[in-house]
Amino acid sequence: MTNQLSLGIDLGGTNTSFGIVDANGCILVKDTMPTTGHDTIEDYIATLKIKLSPLFERVGKENIIGAGIGAPNGNFYTGEIVFAPNLPWHGVIPLAKLVSEALLLKTTVTNDAKAAAVGEMKYGAAKGMKDFIMVTLGTGLGSGFIANGQIIYGHDGLAGELGHTIAVRDGRKCNCGRLGCLERYASATGIVITAEEWLEERYDETILKTNKGKITAKLIHEAADQGDALALELYEFTAKILAQSLADAIAITSPQAIILFGGLAKSGELLMAPLRRHLEENLLSIYKNKVAILHSALQDADAAILGASALVNLYPTQKIN
């Protein structure tokens, strides 16, 4: 039996991670590169090809049977990225076609968060679950909904945009052009916006004040670890907004668990503890004390790489009908 390897690519708003995965779900080799800094998608793919070259050499490119890509607004049915507000390239990008031509590998595309959901279901915290919601808290907020053991793709492949449900009516302006989207509050970007807004209004003693204008989610995490009151309140507020939206999503799909992943989720119990509390406060009684809030069981970008790579084996090319 020849070794059946898959290439998994996680195309994020800021960084791209990629790895070559064997049939047992082990990532044999992996690397990362910035997503930003490429004027066109063609430039980006050219750089990706150069970065992949040493990985291909190490495992033998002839052993790779295909590529799976998780990308914001990636459409499983068409292989396109469709109007992704957090990427440098706009409009409709025929990603599967371009990557397939550049790498000479059969290529499947899906939403990055859906890819992560498949990764968690096959190898991570959702092993054995048939109904759960994957939430990625990075530059934006991505989501993958699993029901009856299957990804909810929707009729057009574009389901699972929890980040673009309205969390605050007439709230913050979103990159999508509307007001109050969840991802403008509950994401690494969102918590920083809240911090900057609050520093305009408040004059408490806080570590964050001296960093006004250059606050990051990481800095808020560090400040909270040192007991900074404003930083802790930022987690409390962010968790509350996220919990309110999750309570509504739970009323639709009644999942066994919510699995959190991504930059902001790395703050661990700083976010998870108030999130669990606010979620229980907001849930309809029939769902109370039934939905686990879990952290991804896969390291760093592994979930998305594994999930993207699993697309190669799990799903044949499928066109919208």
Q: Which is nearer to a copy of itself, 80 or 228 (CB)?
A: 80
Does residue 150 belong to the site contacting a copy of itself (CB under 8 A)?
yes
The answer to whether 107 touches 96, Cβ cutoff 8 Å, is yes
Say how far apart CA 147 and CA 114 lie, in whole Å: 12
Footprint on residues 159-198 left by a copy of itself (CB under 8 A): 159-162, 164-166, 169, 176-178
DSSP 249-304: HHHHH--SEEEEESGGGGGTHHHHHHHHHHHHHHS-GGGTTT-EEEE-SS-TTHHH
Of the residues 45, 59, 98, 147, which one makes contact with a copy of itself according to CB under 8 A: 147
Instruction: Name the minimum Å distance from CB 241 to a copy of itself.
Output: 10
CB 282 within 8 A of CB 236: no
Q: Does 280 bind a copy of itself (CB under 8 A)?
A: no
Stretch that binds a copy of itself, among 12-20, 52-60, 156-164, 224-232 (CB under 8 A): 156-164
Helix, strand, or coil (residue 242)? helix
- Catalogue the E-assigned strands of the chain: 5-11, 15-21, 27-34, 64-71, 81-82, 92-93, 107-111, 132-137, 141-147, 150-151, 257-261, 292-295
Return the range that interacts with a copy of itself (CB under 8 A); candidates 115-123, 149-157, 208-216, 229-237: 149-157
Residues between 96 and 135 that touch a copy of itself (CB under 8 A): 129-132
Q: Is 249 in the site for a copy of itself (CB under 8 A)?
A: yes
Output 58 or 90, the one with its CB closest to a copy of itself: 90
- Give the Cα separation of 158 and 296 in Å (integer): 23
Q: Which one, 19 or 144, has the nearer CB to a copy of itself? A: 144
Contact flag: residue 315 with a copy of itself (CB under 8 A) = no
CA distance 29 to 20: 6
Interface residues with a copy of itself (CB under 8 A) are 73, 82-83, 129-132, 143, 145, 147-148, 150, 152-162, 164-166, 169, 176-178, 244, 247-249, 251-256, 282, 284-287, 290
